[in-house]
Amino acid sequence: MSAHLIDGKAIAAEIDARAGEVGAELAKALGRPPCLAVVLVGDDPASDVYVRNKVRRTEAAGLTSIEMRKPADVSEVEVIEIVEGLNRDDSVDGILVQMPLPGHIDTNRVIGRIDPDKDVDGLTEVSAGRLVLSKPGLRPCTPAGCVLLAERALGDLSGKSVVVVGRSILVGKPAALLFLEKNATVTIAHSRTADLPALCRTADILVPAVGRPQMIRGDWVKPGACVLDVGINRIDAPERGEGKARLVGDAAFDEIVGHAGWITPVPGGIGPMTIAMLLRNTVIAAGLRSNQPLPDGF
Ligand code: NDP
């Protein structure tokens, strides 16, 4: 048996297009398309690429974007003033502060100032609280993308056994809560978990979100399971030439693909879904803020 590949890129393109359609409907009532504001501090090349991709996909879907770029030595007070200005700006629906921020800026203090109704990354304490309480709100993008791909692959997730490996605020914990919301039975593993391979073998859906290249081996995966590989790791690839690198996930794809039921590739799996969910959150935020109804299931 060979696993079905879950094509995150294609599904993300569908979600982008749907966000564009719903955004265009909302624009009739709002008098403008939904708008995402992105704050980028410093000149980290990876962050620059992420922000450019987010802005490009936002605009391609017919939504609008604002970029606020500041040098690495900007003060925390100034970044907070930018966030608060965007909170007050009624033409902005979503605010994203690109991570990581330079070391002299307290990330939590900055995130904490984002209006939760514009928190399209789903990272504020209010958004986290809404998630825990199963109240409507903006959900973190990467975990929301995982759940959506799992539903595309397996349909109803009710009663499925899910093992999330990793307990970060950004991925592991919200992923566990989102799968729980779908009535899956969820276990969260981390660096102190005893006999991780045996635990992973119990999973119908395995979600590695660790940041360790190819840590999840082939014999950790139950035959027929669905593996949603969140990890993005850059490793040396001398076979591609001197000094070359390639991206791999947290799962050893080649060992798993022969007996899993479904697997997301890296790249092209969960990664593209993160931006798709950001666009969707921007449209949801615009709808909620303006009391405009959103289509069922959006
Ligand atoms: P963090 O470093 O914040 O968290 C990693 C988690 O993995 C921790 O909970 C840690 O456990 C756990 N862990 C570390 N080593 C082990 C181990 N040997 N066994 C079991 N658990 C372990 O990472 P993130 O959650 O932010 O990101 C995880 C991965 O996902 C990274 O590769 C990142 O690049 C990628 N990522 C991808 C995104 C996408 O769009 N596809 C978006 C965000 C992240 P403990 O808490 O005990 O230390």
What would the two tokens of residue 230 be?
């969140």
Q: How confident is the model at residue 235, as a pLDDT? A: 96
For residue 109, how far is its CA from the centre of ligand 1 (angstroms)? 22
Q: Can you tell me the distance from the alpha carbon of 191 to that of 272, in angstroms, rounded to the nearest whole number? A: 27
pLDDT digits (tens, 9 = 90+) for 68-86: 999 999 999 999 999 999 9
Q: Which two tokens stand for residue 17?
A: 């297009």
- The amino acid present at 161, given as its one-letter code, is S
Contact between 233 and 269 (Cβ < 8 Å): no
Tell me the best of 220, 232, 266, 274 to mutate to test the pocket of ligand 1, counting ligand atoms within 8 Å of each CB and taking the most. Answer: 232
Q: Is 228 in the pocket of ligand 1 (CB under 6 A)?
A: no
Cβ neighbour number for residue 76 with a 10 Å cutoff: 16
Instruction: Please work out whether the CB of residue 249 comes within 6 Å of at least one atom of ligand 1.
Output: no
* Interval between CA 229 and ligand 1 midpoint (Å): 11
Atom 34 of ligand 1, nearest CA residue: 232
Distance 232 CA to ligand 1 centre (A): 10
The whole-number average pLDDT for the span 167-189 is 98
Quick check: CB of 166 below 6 Å from ligand 1? yes
Residue nearest to atom 36 of ligand 1 (CA): 231
Ligand 1 near 142 CB (within 6 A):
yes
Ligand 1 contact, 252 CB (< 6 A): no
| Catalytic positions | 54, 98, 121
Domains and CATH numbers, the chain: 31-117 (3.40.50.10860), 141-272 (3.40.50.720)
Point out the ligand 1 atom lying closest to the alpha carbon of residue 212. Answer: 32
pTM: 0.97
Q: What is the pLDDT of residues 242-273, one digit of tens each?
A: 999 999 999 999 999 999 999 999 999 999 99
Ligand 1 center from residue 161 Cα (angstroms): 20
Q: What pLDDT is attached to residue 1?
A: 64
Residues 6+ apart with CB under 8 A from 8: 145, 149, 264, 265, 268, 269, 270, 271, 272, 273
CA dist., res. 168 & res. 122, Å (int): 14
In this prediction, residue 206 has a pLDDT band, given cuts at 50, 70 and 90, of very high
Q: Is the CB of 210 under 6 A from ligand 1?
A: yes
Question: 49: which 2 tokens?
Answer: 């690429």
Residue positions counted in the chain: 298
- For the cut 70, the answer to whether the pLDDT of residue 27 exceeds it is yes
Percent of the chain with pLDDT strictly greater than 90: 99
- What angle separates helix 8-30 from helix 45-60, to the nearest 10 degrees? 60
How far is Cα 62 from Cα 16, in angstroms, rounded to an integer? 9
Closest CA to 153 of 95, 98, 227: 227
Whose structure tokens read 């965007």? 86
142 CA distance to ligand 1 middle (Å):
12
Does the beta carbon of 172 sit less than 6 angstroms from any atom of ligand 1?
Answer: yes
DSSP helix/strand/coil, 36? strand
